[in-house]
Amino acid sequence: MQAWNFGVQQQLSNNLVVEVSYVGNKGTRLNRRLGSNPAEPLGKRATVGDLSNDPKVRSDIGTGRNQFRRLYPFAVQDGIIVPLSNGNETTSTGFSNYHGMLVRVEKRYSQGLTVLGSYAFSKAISDSAPMDSGGSAGQGSRVQNVFDLKSEKGLADMDHRHRFSAAFGYSLPIGKGRRFGSGMPGFLDKIVGGWGIDGISVL
């Protein structure tokens, strides 16, 4: 994973700061699973027939009905036909990239109040889904079509084009050196002094 960023910050007044940043990252050699014995494009309508009554078919494989016509539909082991299903291999051929612009405005008011707002405009692209994208442990980042890997490229799961967040922090005016309770004993100041209220909203 490679990451880089660049930003400029300007203080417009004693209590107002504006920052504009560019953030980017690139992931290479990401995990993804490729089918090694896929079915032909004809799909379910193309079968190798009903092998359920054939004594040469291994009984522990199943009935043999509606087997996909695969690149390697079966193997022969000790004179017994063994129908093959699809196999998957984990490779390190996936990639991802992210580019984003971040605008941040911070305003400090009197009486201990600070307000922060930020907006991010970004785009994330990948051809490898996260390994925890659902299903069993062997289903994450599985490609749809091994014959057309270029079609896997698209918006990543982490793509959120617009992101706005607003936050505030307010230091309560209670305790030594503050508006209320400035003369309270030290032990009491440790209990009721120094408290604050914070909030954040993300869209």
pLDDT values of the chain reduced to their tens digit, one per residue, 203 residues:
999 999 999 999 989 999 999 999 999 998 888 877 776 655 555 555 555 565 555 444 444 444 446 667 778 888 888 877 777 788 888 999 999 999 999 998 877 899 999 999 999 999 987 655 444 444 556 788 887 889 899 999 889 999 999 999 998 888 877 777 777 787 887 888 888 999 999 99
User: How far apart are alpha carbons 163 and 98 in whole angstroms?
Assistant: 14
134 and 45 in a common domain:
no
167 and 100 in a common domain:
yes
The per-residue pLDDT for 63 is 44
48 and 141 in a common domain:
no
137 and 64 in a common domain:
no
Would you say residue 19 lies in a domain? yes
The per-residue pLDDT for 45 is 53
67 and 165 in a common domain:
no
Would you say residue 202 lies in a domain? no
110 and 20 in a common domain:
yes
140 and 50 in a common domain:
no
Phi/psi at 112 (nearest 5 deg)?
A: 80, 20
The per-residue pLDDT for 83 is 76
Which runs of E-coded beta strand occur in the chain? Answer: 2-13, 16-35, 74-77, 80-83, 88-108, 113-126, 154-155, 162-171, 196-202
| Contacts of residue 61, Cβ cutoff 8 Å, sequence gap at least 6 | 82, 83
Would you say residue 190 lies in a domain? no
pTM: 0.64
Would you say residue 72 lies in a domain? yes
User: How far apart are alpha carbons 151 and 143 in whole angstroms?
Assistant: 9
160 and 147 in a common domain:
yes
User: How far apart are alpha carbons 122 and 137 in whole angstroms?
Assistant: 30
164 and 106 in a common domain:
yes
Would you say residue 188 lies in a domain? no
The per-residue pLDDT for 187 is 81
The per-residue pLDDT for 19 is 97
> How many structural domains are present in the chain?
2
Domain that holds residue 42: 37-86
100 and 21 in a common domain:
yes
41 and 27 in a common domain:
no
How many degrees, rounded to 5, is the angle at CA 41 between CA 38 and CA 45? 100
109 and 142 in a common domain:
yes
